[in-house]
Amino acid sequence: MSFLIQANDPDAVHPRRMFLGKSGLLLSGAAVALMAGQDALAAAKGGDAAPSDIQILNTALGAELEAIAAYQVGAESGLLQKPVLDLAVTFQGHHKEHADVLSKTIVKLGGKPVAAKAKYQFPTETLKNQNDVLRFAAGLEKGAVSAYLGAVPLFGNRELAKAAASILGDEAMHWAVLRNALGEAPVPSAFMS
């Protein structure tokens, strides 16, 4: 089985690395965070966003598309057991929702959403067991947290900044849950950098 995900743009830059130069209770909390982000993104109007805001949103969209592909690799690897497989599919669904809202917002603001890459190069040769897959996913989620953390203050439109912060919260929850599944402290420090 090939772990390369096929889509549209083989020459796209690795979005998680390039995103701003940084590479029930759970579900209800994630749903609340995502809904807040959707509302803020939906409120944005074309005249309210600078071209740099659209660029930041597009970079975030590229990272979300990569996350969708990464969780697909994990799901298809045969290495994840229930309920971890269900968790991975749930997190992939969150990333799909993020991507959908980001894409629609970019269009609403007059931009053109980026497409998924034709293939992603993931370190599949290092994925030998469930913990390897969890560690890989946790690393991507940590990178997403750092990226959104860096993006929030850069938005000219403060509603977009609030929406990005909402997605940041969801990514942080993913990272914490994955760390916990690995037997690591879910929240390793009082501050994120």
Distance between CA atoms of residues 143 and 95, nearest Å: 14
pLDDT, tens digit, 9 for 90 and up, residues 96-128: 999 999 999 999 999 999 999 999 999 999 999
**191 pLDDT higher than 90:** no
Could you tell me the pTM of the whole model?
A: 0.76
> Domains plus CATH for the chain?
22-181 (1.20.1260.10)
SS3 content of the chain, % helix, strand, coil (to 5): 70, 0, 30
Distance between CA atoms of residues 62 and 121, nearest Å: 14
